[in-house]
Structure 1
Amino acid sequence: MTSAPHAPSPAPVVPAALDGIRAIEIGTFISAPFAATLLADFGAEVIKLELPDIGDPMRTLGEYPPGGDSSYWWSAMGRNKRSVALDVRTDEGREILGRLLESADVLVENFRPGTLERWGITMDWVRARRPGIIVARISGYGQDGPWRDVPGFDRNAQAFSGLVYVTGEPDMPPQQAGLPLCDFNAGLWGAFGIVTALLGQLRQRRESGNEIDLALYETMIPFLKDMPQRFRHQGRVTERTGNTPDYVAPGGAYRTGSGEWIFISGTGDRVFERLITAVGRPDLAAAEQFRQNKGRVTHRPVLDAAINEWLAARSTDEAIAQLQAADVPAVKIQSIRDVMTHPQVIARGNFIDVPQPEGGQVCMPAPLPRMADMPPQVRWPGEHLGQSTRRVLRDELGLDDAELARLAREGVIGA
């Protein structure tokens, strides 16, 4: 008699990449909260401290779900975090923060320099409670320098960084990016700095902490391509060129016969030859003045005229299909409707719908980057203000119900 086959063993539970890392976030709006969100997506325990009755102003930005008390955006930015409503400006609130820091690996904040110090939360005070803590500080212009105390938000940082100066059409006003690039970029750099500092501690077996000082504007400096070298070595100031890159031709935004816009990149000799052949002008590929990129940039109008003539007789779908068949990088300039309904985006799972505790679902960008092992995940959407206050302070700091009730009456905590 043969025995029944054994049931398959359950797959082992693999800890998240940052499992065991604890972070305290004292931040508002975008940069510090986004840095903490990235840590939380990969398994770090993030305790978000918010002022009672006020909370992070991000809760009020954008559209709200029906009957909701916080915005859709908050559900994504606050995901995987525990909201503790605590007034760290008070003596008792600061003392509670100190006790929370004793078991924390990371503190991330983005107040104007001097704000935390004014509340008695100096870096010496922080290190006295947790000598090995990693502190990430994000501000408009950094913790030092003559502009240290100047207020600055994302748009100011875009303008200051040089990004806005080169964005837009040459004969039109400079144009800010349509999204808060510096804020989100600061979150990326901040999270990268935190993980790098943690890895350095581990690999070098160091018990000392670290302090990360990041200015919003400087997060764009590495993206300025050769603009610094042009100015330093040639005295040239890079100007706006609109949708037409000034360093390569052909390429840019072109209008199709459907009245829609597509972006074509003709970068490189081989791609140029494939592009200009696809639009029915192989003669231009053979012309001496177009053999090298420098000549193509000089004579850009001739190439653009050929491309525009070809596109005018074709729909967007037809043009993109023919260009992609010729192995030419071409894509429609997409609206959010186009993005979210595109088969590639759907196949990659770039947007997810996360269940809300009170019912329904909320859409948000999926965590990035994808990893084959220890991938990021969304465990829960952003909590209500102070939703975890009592649980954290009771279970982790040992405060009893009477003490919690007193602190709530005095406005030190919210629940």
Structure 2
Amino acid sequence: MSDPTAPAEGSAEVPAAEPGPLHGLLVVDASTILAGPLCAQLLGDYGADVIKIEHPVAGDGMRGHGHTKDGHSLWWKEISRNKRTVGLSLSVPRGAKIFRSLIARADVLVENFRPGTLERWGLGPEELHRVNPGLVIVRITGFGQTGPYAGRAGFGTLAEAMSGFAHLTGAGDGPPTLPAFGLADSLCGIAASSAAAMALFARERDPHRRGQVVDMSLLEPLMAAVGPSPTVYDQLGLVERRHGNRSTNNAPRNTYLTSDGHWVAVSTSAQVIAERVLRLVGHPEVIGEPWFASGGGRAAHADLLDGMVGEWIAARTRGKVIEEFTAAGAAVAPVYDARDIVEDEHIRETRMITEVADDDLGPLLMHNVMWRMSRSPGSIRFTGRPLGADTESVLVDELGLDPAEVARLREERTVA
């Protein structure tokens, strides 16, 4: 087996003299499914040493999500990259004791148990802060740690429904529409990584280097992404409705079918772009109309503008549409599927998708680190590993447990 701590071939490798910005920090990922694991993945991508805690028998449910190849979850390879994995039961006293020993060394804990679960196991924030006052505890739940819904089961689908996203998504005469992917979880995971970094920054400025608890719900990041609809309702009494791909803020804004059967998306958020589009499609006369001077005015004439733009695009191939829009300085993009993403020259050249080495599957493509940093870049050092692959090394080499004791704990299924 190759060295799991070495940067993966084809990743955004970190020069030896310039480790990631979180190098030297230890993150314990005790979360499951998507939001928490994504938060920990991002911290690991930028240098943190991440130890993934999984149930010794069941493991993280993410291992069963998505497509597999030769029995290996392809999503797991990405979401658990840069993480060492330890199989450990937290619900039994000996497992909880080992967990506390690990927490004593950690900087960040990411967890998403239902509120009260860690407390029931003697692992709540008060107990963990007695063990390690500087610990940052990122707690991810559906609805937060307090309030009437705190005890409810929380999944991304529920947040997508309650945030206003589903209400505003879909055709005006159709039902509310849920996303086909983990939107709420993904936004929450990204937001949680930012919150963890803020809490670490606050710890550095605290003379006592105290950690804190981050209470992160799946609901709030998506509510922010949906926009100011609560403010609009509060001030104007308006409840916005579904309107398909159109925008209430500008037009033309839609997807349009080309002559060779592809879809392209057009946006005209800026006034100058709207003017360029209408000149390009042969209708400069509408630019002088009073209503054309504002996004809201154009949105009120979306049928007219969509007809003009759609007719022009329908007479041309996707390649020709993109070529002419680009030459005119207008905003257009093809609607991509996964094959298009992988084959796109810009995505490949900028390494938004990168090839990494995997012990089980050989070279495979995955998303690169999410943002570029000039002095302390992130890296993909290794891909997701088998359940419990690092239990022995962490418990024996780092926590000082006797190998014979680890063997007994394995027989009891306290560790894996």
Task: Give the structure-2-normalised TM-score.
Answer: 0.94
Q: 1:358 Cα shift? A: 4.0
Contact kept in structure 1, 2:169 and 2:176, CA below 8 Å: yes
SS in 2 for 1:274: helix
Question: Root-mean-square deviation (CA), in Å?
Answer: 1.4
Asked if residue 41 in structure 1 is aligned to residue 45 in structure 2, the reply is yes
Map of 1:6 onto structure 2:
none
Map of 2:179 onto structure 1:
177
Q: 1:143 Cα shift? A: 0.2
Rounded Cα–Cα distance in structure 1 between residues aligned with 2:297 and 2:401: 74
Map of 1:7 onto structure 2:
none
Rounded Cα–Cα distance in structure 2 between residues aligned with 1:357 and 1:309: 51
User: 5+ residue gaps in structure 2?
Assistant: 1-14
Contact kept in structure 1, 2:167 and 2:177, CA below 8 Å: yes
Contact kept in structure 1, 2:254 and 2:306, CA below 8 Å: no
- Indicate how the Cα distance of structure 1 residues 99 and 293 shifts in structure 2: closer, same or farther if over 3 A, else same: closer
SS in 2 for 1:354: strand
User: 5+ residue gaps in structure 1?
Assistant: 1-10
Report matched runs for 1:4-403 at 5 Å.
13-66=17-70, 68=71, 70-358=72-360, 360-403=362-405
- Which amino acid in 2 is paired with 1:79? R
- Which amino acid in 2 is paired with 1:316? R
Question: Which deviates more, 293-302 or 310-319?
Answer: 293-302
Rounded Cα–Cα distance in structure 2 between residues aligned with 1:381 and 1:127: 31
Q: 1:12 Cα shift? A: 5.8
Residues 377-408 of structure 1 show CA distances to partners (whole Å, capped at 9, x for unaligned) of: 01111111000000011111111221111111
Give % identity. Answer: 35
Larger C-alpha radius of gyration, 1 or 2? 1
- Which amino acid in 2 is paired with 1:124? E
Question: Which deviates more, 249-258 or 356-365?
Answer: 356-365
Rounded Cα–Cα distance in structure 2 between residues aligned with 1:248 and 1:367: 33
Rounded Cα–Cα distance in structure 2 between residues aligned with 1:195 and 1:404: 34
Contact kept in structure 2, 1:37 and 1:81, CA below 8 Å: yes
- Which amino acid in 1 is paired with 2:365? C
Map of 1:5 onto structure 2:
none
SS in 1 for 2:298: helix
SS in 1 for 2:68: coil
SS in 2 for 1:220: helix
Contact kept in structure 2, 1:19 and 1:44, CA below 8 Å: yes
Contact kept in structure 2, 1:28 and 1:58, CA below 8 Å: yes
- Which amino acid in 2 is paired with 1:63? H
Rounded Cα–Cα distance in structure 1 between residues aligned with 2:272 and 2:297: 15
Contact kept in structure 2, 1:72 and 1:362, CA below 8 Å: no
Number of corresponding residues:
402
Which structure is higher in RCO with an 8 Å CA cutoff and minimum separation 6?
Answer: 2
Rounded Cα–Cα distance in structure 1 between residues aligned with 2:209 and 2:43: 21
Rounded Cα–Cα distance in structure 2 between residues aligned with 1:345 and 1:133: 38
